[in-house]
Chains A and B, each alone.
Chain A
Amino acid sequence: RKEVEQDPGPFNVPEGATVAFNCTYSNSASQSFFWYRQDCRKEPKLLMSVYSSGNEDGRFTAQLNRASQYISLLIRDSKLSDSATYLCVVIYGGSQGNLIFGKGTKLSVKP
């Protein structure tokens, strides 16, 4: 079983749509959780951290369910510029920050 699993997509949505990505992780000792964004042939960039209480940043909402070992990302009012691959990332407790990545979910927003 992969440590971090994501639906690879692609998700093809029209502008203005709401889209949700899910991610599950296998290590119950995981400590920190993130969503990264990666544009084609570019480096990953931190989109947002994910907290148990849930957190929102503009059109983006992230949720963490520790009991189910499940992380989600919701994007509202999709823009063309949201087209990218979204990477679910965890850090194990006791580690010094080495990121464990899912393989990513590809999003394509169409006009």
Chain B
Amino acid sequence: GAGVSQSPSNKVTEKGKDVELRCDPISGHTALYWYRQSLGQGLEFLIYFQGNSAPDKSGLPSDRFSAERTGGSVSTLTIQRTQQEDSAVYLCASSLVAGAYNEQFFGPGTRLTVL
């Protein structure tokens, strides 16, 4: 079956512009997670959804970052007024339900470059 998909695969933008990153989870997966991977920082948790609700937004680095999920499926991560330090690979993962024992399956990521 289809895995997690993300679009675009690459995004180059200018400092100050807004960007939207999209994630399509595996069909039937109710939990969706966003992470980012920066050079020298490793993978960091940003936010997760159970259904359309986001109980934990603790990893969002600033109020320029927001995310939503509609219909319990597709999620969009929006970064407003992008800065150079936002350059990273943004990874989305999904699992059947949220929880410590459910395997998360990752998408291929969106590589964001802010000039």
* CB < 8 Å A-B pair total: 58
Nearest Cβ distance between residue B91 and chain A, in whole angstroms? 6
Given contacts A32-B100, A43-B108, contact A99 B33 (CB under 8 A): yes
| B106-A96 in contact (CB<8A) | no
| A99-B56 in contact (CB<8A) | no
| A99-B109 in contact (CB<8A) | no
Specify which chain A residues have a CB less than 8 angstroms from the CB of B100 in the assembled complex.
Answer: 31-32, 91, 93, 95-97
| A43-B43 in contact (CB<8A) | no
A side interface size, CB within 8 A: 20
Which of the candidate stretches A16-24, A63-71, A76-84, A101-109 sits at the interface with the other chain?
A101-109
How far, in whole Å, are A87 and B106 apart by their CA atoms in the complex? 14
Which B residue sits closest to A32, measured CB to CB? Answer: B100
| A46-B103 in contact (CB<8A) | yes
B residues 58-109 with Cβ under 8 Å of A?
Answer: 59, 91, 93, 95, 98-104, 106-109
How far, in whole Å, are A102 and B44 apart by their CA atoms in the complex? 9
Specify which chain B residues have a CB less than 8 angstroms from the CB of A87 in the assembled complex.
Answer: 42-43
> Per-residue 0/1 for A17-51: is the Cβ within 8 Å of any B Cβ (1 yes, 0 no)?
00000000000000110000000001111100000
Query: Which 7 pairs, one residue from A and one from B, show the smallest C-beta to C-beta distance?
Result: A43-B106, A103-B42, A101-B43, A96-B98, A98-B45, A32-B100, A91-B100
17 other A-B residue contacts (CB within 8 Å) besides A95-B100, A96-B50, A97-B102:
A43-B106, A43-B107, A45-B106, A46-B103, A87-B42, A87-B43, A93-B100, A95-B56, A96-B48, A96-B56, A96-B99, A97-B31, A97-B33, A97-B99, A98-B33, A98-B45, A104-B42
Chain A residues at the B interface, C-beta cutoff of 8 Å: 31-32, 42-46, 87, 91, 93, 95-104
